[in-house]
Amino acid sequence: MVQLSERMNEESATIKNRQWWKEAVVYQIYPKSFYDSNGDGIGDLTGVIQKLDYLKELGIDVIWLSPVYQSPMDDNGYDISDYQAIAEEFGSMEDMDLLIHEAKKRDIKIIMDLVVNHTSDEHEWFIESKSDVKHPKRDWYIWRNGRKDGTPPNNWKSIFGGSCWEYDEQTGQYYLHAFSKKQPDLNWENPDLRNAVYKMVRWWLDKGISGFRVDAITFIKKRQDFAHSHDGMNVIETNQQGIHEFLSELRKEAFTSPDILTVAEAPGVSYKELPIYAGEDGHFSMLFEFDHVDLDVGKEGKWYETYNWNLLDFKKAISDSQTFYNNTGWGALYLENHDQPRSLNKFIKPEDIGPIPAKMLATVYFFLKGTPFIYQGQEIGMTNVEYPSIEHYNDLASIDQYYSALKEGFSKEEALAAIWRRSRDNSRTPMQWNHSEYAGFSQGTPWLEINSNYSFINVENALKDRNSLFYFYKKLISLRKSSPYSDVIAFGKYEDIFKDSLQIMAYTRELNDKKIAVIANFDNKELTLNLDFNIKNVILSNYDYLELHLNQIKLRPYESIVCEVDLSF
């Protein structure tokens, strides 16, 4: 006994910095599409409260709530007109307080979306800023004169397409917007603005939330020369020199509780910089990377061109950052979110989409080093949608992209095919709760059309079938949280194996005297693998039964296994 407890002490001593968020699983809710409690066709906070027991059953620890603040909803809430009010269609501040309270009762934490690169053009700050060049808040946004010929100050393009400058008649100047023209960028150079942001953040933390997902944060620093861009696409640049001063200050002044989870959406950060950005000493607890989810996007950022990626590209994207996280920082693990198409359509051949490949994908990312995020509907295998024409789409980015593709000479069919593949509406269709009308999401007509496969892909069916993807996710979560493998899954060293295989993705995780291997077949062909280790036991498989020999495995189509490696010889 003495020996055992000594060894346990030794083990936990080797795990430095055990923060709660390193052992948590997060579930992302896109409130507009989650559950509508009052029949107006729009998901709402009461709807989230009513589904907390479902999330508890799944076993998650944290909810990331996409924006619920007051907003004209040009970009579905990522355009905020009041940070300290709740959008009417989502409910009230009382509902928000109740949600925090009800979640807490079930041991679930809430993190909010923090959108502070920009506000809505209907935010009071912008209305004041716009009113007069001499207004004290003029400098809270980025205003510039046009060039001599009246054209915008420079050739920077916004993320959603077109110039990132919008002319304001009244004061004769342009303002900058990295996203839509209804999302003017805040001027982080101004200390009063920064302090107003920090104060708002502290106000939310005082309410009892447990952190933030920080939107588009690498955009906050602009090149101060505002020079013409010569990089071809001219899209406004991220992660500019000087950003670290803002981010350190944000952490120090706003993220005041020592114990919060902050996850940054941070495009443009190189692997070299990961340690500065993520981990207990970084600007944030963790950050979302994009390489592994944007594999299919044309290299120049031309979203409508298909880039033919292969499994080596996917594996490289994952293993480059995982290798970094072996030494420093922390990963945010995800395959889907509200900006990405569904993972089944992205990674699996269309004719093979179904529960087995879905479980394989889940396995592959859940055992990596970092905190897993599940996007609503992912746990029941929801898929992309193909609306018959652009009029059925809601996402402003998709609509812009469709028309710019037409301008570039694509046919309507080609443009629509690209939208089917990449539209953000793919993941925003209402959550499929059951097979009744409107998928049990609402009593009224939903704001966005339901995916027609709701009659068989839905929560009710998933809960009835012990073999469903839902229960597989539940199993994954419990392995992470309360199993003999919890520590090795959370803290073990990552190493990729079968690196050059175009069919297999595999890696090991090792901590002290435990080592596990994750092996997945990404193809619909069977294959036999010779391992250079012996399997001690199988922890998880996505098939009913397994054909196993000590150091040889036969993997069926999309089969994945997680096993313990025998370290005794």
The helix/strand/coil state of 496 is: strand
- Which one of Ca ion, ligand GLC, none is in contact with 294 (Cβ closer than 5 to 8 A by kind)? none
Q: Which one from 75, 265, 336, 379 is the annotated catalytic residue?
A: 265
Q: Which residues, other chains included, contact 88 with Cβ-Cβ below 8 Å and sequence gap of 6+?
A: 70
Binds 75, which of ligand GLC, Ca ion, none (CB < 5 to 8 A, cut-off by type)?
ligand GLC
Least distance CB 550 / ligand GLC (angstroms): 47
Window 336-365: residues binding Ca ion (CB under 5 A): none
CB of residue 265 to ligand GLC, shortest distance in Å: 6
Which positions ≥6 away from 433 have C-beta within 8 Å?
35, 439, 440, 441, 458, 459, 460
Among 28, 29, 44, 562, binds Ca ion (CB under 5 A): 44
Contact indicator for 516, 537 with CB cutoff of 8 Å: no
Q: Is 265 known to be catalytic?
A: yes
- Measured from the CB atom, the residue of 102 and 400 that comes closer to Ca ion is 102
CB-CB neighbours of 108 under 10 Å: 19
Strands 371-375 and 552-555: what pairing?
unpaired
Asked if 19 is part of the footprint of Ca ion (rule: CB under 5 A), the reply reads no
| Nearer of residues 76 and 321 to ligand GLC, judged by Cβ | 76
The minimum distance between CB 216 and ligand GLC, in angstroms, equals: 4
**Spatial contact of 557 and 352, defined as CB atoms under 8 Å apart:** yes
Kindly state the smallest distance separating residue 134's Cβ from ligand GLC, in Å. 29
Q: How far is the CB of 102 from ligand GLC (least distance, A)?
A: 26
| Among the listed residues 159, 431, 430, 185, the one whose alpha carbon sits nearest the alpha carbon of residue 297 | 159
Check residue 138 and report its DSSP letter: G
- 437 annotated active-site: no
Q: Which stretch binds Ca ion (CB under 5 A): 33-41, 110-118, 126-134, 209-217?
A: 33-41
Interface residue with Ca ion among 24, 26, 29, 42 (CB under 5 A) is 42
DSSP summary character for residue 375? E
Q: How many CB atoms lie within 10 A of CB 374?
A: 25
User: 461: which 2 tokens?
Assistant: 């069916």
Three-state secondary structure call for residue 305: coil
Q: What is the bridge-based pairing of β-strands 211-214 and 261-265?
A: parallel
Task: For Ca ion, give the closer residue by CB, 44 or 95.
Answer: 44
79 vs 296 by CB, closer to ligand GLC:
79
Contacted by 38, from ligand GLC, Ca ion, none: CB < 5 to 8 Å by type: Ca ion
Q: For Ca ion, which is the closer residue by CB, 68 or 176?
A: 68
When CB distances are held under 5 to 8 angstroms depending on the partner's kind, the choice from ligand GLC, Ca ion, none that residue 422 binds is none
Q: How far is the CB of 77 from Ca ion (least distance, A)?
A: 14
Residue 158 CB partners (closer than 8 Å, separation 6+): 164, 177, 178, 179, 180, 181, 235, 236
Quick one: what does residue 339 bind among ligand GLC, Ca ion, none, with the CB cut-off 5 to 8 Å set by partner type?
Answer: ligand GLC
36 binds Ca ion (CB under 5 A): yes
| Contact with Ca ion (CB under 5 A) among 19, 38, 323, 461 | 38
The separation between CA 460 and the C-alpha centre of its own chain, rounded to angstroms, equals: 25
How many residues at the interface with Ca ion, by CB under 5 A? 5
Give which of 243, 252, 253 is closest to 276, Cα–Cα. Answer: 243
Site of interaction with ligand GLC (CB under 6 A): 75, 78, 115, 179, 215-216, 265, 338-339
Choice between 222 and 509, CB closer to ligand GLC: 222
Based on CB atoms, which residue is closest to Ca ion, 184 or 430?
430
425 interface partner picked from Ca ion, ligand GLC, none, CB below 5 to 8 A per type: none
36 binds, among Ca ion, ligand GLC, none (CB under 5 to 8 A by kind): Ca ion
> Which one is catalytic: 44, 89, 185, 215?
215
28 by DSSP, 3-state: which? strand
Integer CA distances (angstroms), 452 to 275, 383, 429, 456, in order: 44, 10, 10, 9
Binds 115, which of Ca ion, ligand GLC, none (CB < 5 to 8 A, cut-off by type)?
Answer: ligand GLC
Single-letter amino acid, residue 447? W
Helix crossing, 469-481 with 355-366: angle to 10°?
20
**Which range in 31-39, 191-199, 491-499, 536-544 contacts Ca ion by CB under 5 A?**
31-39
Query: 255 CB contacts (<8 Å, ≥6 apart)?
Result: 201, 205, 211, 212, 262
Minimum distance, C-beta of residue 76 to Ca ion, in the bound complex (Å)? 14
Residues designated catalytic: 215, 265
* Site for Ca ion, rule CB under 5 A: 36, 38, 40, 42, 44
